[in-house]
Structure formats: C-alpha cells, structure tokens
C-alpha cells in the first residue's frame, strides 16, 4: 500500500498524515474547508493532495479523523466506500465533553460500520493523542487495533508498523467498546493529573 485518504484536516489528521508522509505514503486530505486543507498540505509537504469531502477517496486506507458528531453527515455526502478499508480514529465523545455519545456496551466504530455496508472498518489511533502521533518522539507508542476482517486488520497493522508503532491486535470490532472507553478515561485523566495531553497508554510486557 502506498497511499492513504484522511477525512478531516484537524489535529488527528495532521498526526496521521505526518507519520504517513515520513514513511513514504502519499496522502489525500478530504476536507470541507479547502483553505484549511491547503494550509495543512503546505505544512505537511511530501505527496499531499486536497479534495472536497464529497470524494472520491482514492487511498488504499481511508482514515476517519473527524469529530464524532460530524461523521454521519460526512459519510452520507462522501459516496460509497464499498470494498475500502476504513480506519476509525475517532472517539464518540459528546460535544459538551460530558461523556460518551453512545449507549453502554456499544461503540462509535460499530455505528460507523453500520453506515458503511461493504467496507471493512478497523478501529485504530483513537487511544493515542494527536500531538503524540505527530511528534514521533523517542518512545515507540502502542497502537491498539480492532476489527472483524483479518485482511483489513493486517493492512492497518502494516501501516502502523511502517509508521513507527508497536501494533497490538485487541481482537474483533466489538473490542472498540473497550478502546473507546479507555480513550475517554485517558482524556479525563489529563485534567486530574495535569499531563496536558502528553501522556500515552502503553503495555509493559515485563516489569521485572
């Protein structure tokens, strides 16, 4: 795989695109605000193109890097993603930041999969803060992924490894319930611990 498409031009999109370009991928940004997309593309450099959020998405992988409340409308206007591998990097957080916008036991990733018949949805990148993705610092970060399609997960895992992450396969897409809950907990801890979105969730395989 040599190219990716990203829905959005915010911090999450910037982080994923930064890693992708450094690893030699071409990046297509699908955006509502073309001027914002062009500004990001200029910052990123590399092989970066900008297209309207109406698509088509041309990348081998399609990343959703939008606020959760904007996703359904964006997908409705994008057209078919049948046959595509779609990476859900979002977290279903209410706009007022009062909690998750999905019922207990359900996930945003599952809701997105229901909107995309014929696409293979993989949950990934939602547990890593965007600034840490973009920074690519001295520590190798863990990238947790979940999905029902083994080939799609393998493709996302290959991208993750190529862009510098240690990939941890957590299982089928229902595991996104856990990943989204974990991300929400981590977000809340930024305020109680004062870590300013600089911390990361990693698994230490051995501590002694």
Query: What's the pLDDT tens digit per position in 71-116?
Result: 999 999 998 899 999 999 999 999 898 999 999 999 999 999 999 9
Q: Which helix (H) or strand (E) holds 5?
A: strand 3-7
- Is the pLDDT at 194 greater than 90? The verdict is yes
User: How far is Cα 184 from Cα 180, in angstroms, rounded to an integer?
Assistant: 6
Per-residue confidence (pLDDT) for residue 89, from 0 to 100: 98
Average pLDDT over residues 3-32: 97
- Is the pLDDT at 136 greater than 80? The verdict is no
- 51 bridge partner residues: 30
- Is the pLDDT at 63 greater than 70? The verdict is yes
User: How far is Cα 125 from Cα 62, in angstroms, rounded to an integer?
Assistant: 13
Per-residue confidence (pLDDT) for residue 1, from 0 to 100: 66
- Is the pLDDT at 167 greater than 80? The verdict is yes
Per-residue confidence (pLDDT) for residue 99, from 0 to 100: 93
- 4 bridge partner residues: 27, 61
Average pLDDT over residues 10-18: 96
Per-residue confidence (pLDDT) for residue 208, from 0 to 100: 83
Per-residue confidence (pLDDT) for residue 12, from 0 to 100: 97
Tell me the whole-structure pTM to 2 decimals.
0.96
The DSSP line for 61-94 is: EEEE-S-HHHHHHHHHHH---TT-EEEE----B-
User: How far is Cα 101 from Cα 91, in angstroms, rounded to an integer?
Assistant: 9
Torsion angle of C-alpha atoms 99, 128, 137, 135, degrees rounded to 10: -70
Per-residue confidence (pLDDT) for residue 20, from 0 to 100: 97
User: Which domains does the chain carry?
Assistant: 3-193 (3.40.50.720)
DSSP structural state of residue 55:
-
Structure tokens at 154: 């393998």
Query: Average pLDDT over the chain, rounded to whole?
Result: 95
Q: Which helix (H) or strand (E) holds 166?
A: strand 166-169
User: How far is Cα 56 from Cα 108, in angstroms, rounded to an integer?
Assistant: 23
């Amino acid at each position: 795989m040599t190219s990716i498409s990203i829905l959005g031009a915010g911090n999450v999109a910037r982080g994923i695109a930064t890693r992708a370009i450094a690893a030699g991928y071409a990046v297509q940004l699908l955006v509502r605000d073309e001027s914002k997309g062009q500004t990001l593309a200029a910052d990123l450099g590399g092989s970066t193109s900008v297209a309207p959020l109406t698509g088509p998405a041309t990348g081998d992988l399609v990343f959703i890097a939008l606020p959760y409340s904007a996703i359904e409308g964006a997908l409705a206007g994008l057209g078919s993603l049948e046959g595509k591998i779609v990476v859900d990097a979002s977290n279903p957080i209410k706009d007022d930041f009062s909690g998750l916008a999905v019922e207990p036991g359900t996930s945003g990733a599952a809701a997105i999969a229901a909107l995309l018949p014929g696409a293979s949805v993989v949950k990934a990148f939602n547990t890593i803060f965007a600034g840490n993705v973009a920074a690519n610092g001295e520590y190798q970060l863990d990238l947790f992924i979940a999905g029902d399609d083994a080939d799609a997960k393998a493709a996302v895992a290959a991208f993750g490894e190529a862009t510098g992450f240690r990939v941890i396969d957590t299982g089928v897409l229902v595991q996104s319930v856990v990943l989204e809950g974990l991300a929400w907990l981590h977000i809340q801890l930024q305020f109680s611990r004062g870590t300013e979105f600089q911390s990361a969730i990693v698994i230490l395989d051995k501590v002694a």
